[in-house]
Structure 1
């Protein structure tokens, strides 16, 4: 199956997919400095966003941290000669994701 095709044989809950997407996207976006609001100025629970037209909820405005059990050692940098900022790791158990039903790969 090509990478651009979606298999209907694997049932993936929308919640799990959105969680992973949002986790990665949020991780990168909170590193960007907010410069604007998406609409007509500040609204309750909202802070400056780095992307025009996108709302940044206030809880995302705090300091960035790696998810539990991750660190700079886990990064795959496009330019290894540049330093990635040292950031803290959340003190908590390592995150887990339940297997997607039907995604088991047979040993070949």
Structure 2
């Protein structure tokens, strides 16, 4: 069985069936004689079709993930800019607070 990102996917059982057929090509190698494969042309053709179908699905998922990464990268950059603004504001408030603390000290001494 192959682990998937989303086991609740409705096409999951179809994909598992396709993967089983595709894996058949790799499992037919007989023990002790690794050079000999006993698959018919139709079995190989079906395995190829299934692998190609799986490849296209992975490409679609990859494209979607790349879009998500790009979007998240932009969001991270926006958050960093916003954070930088808040840090500057905090520093400004610290300076202002220090000024007022000095004023209070001066007034208390007088």
Same fold at TM > 0.5? no
TM range (shorter): under 0.3
Structure with greater helix percent: 2
Structure showing greater Rg: 2
Q: Indicate the structure whose relative CO is greater, using CA pairs within 8 Å and at least 6 residues apart.
A: 1
Q: TM-score, normalised to structure 2's length?
A: 0.27
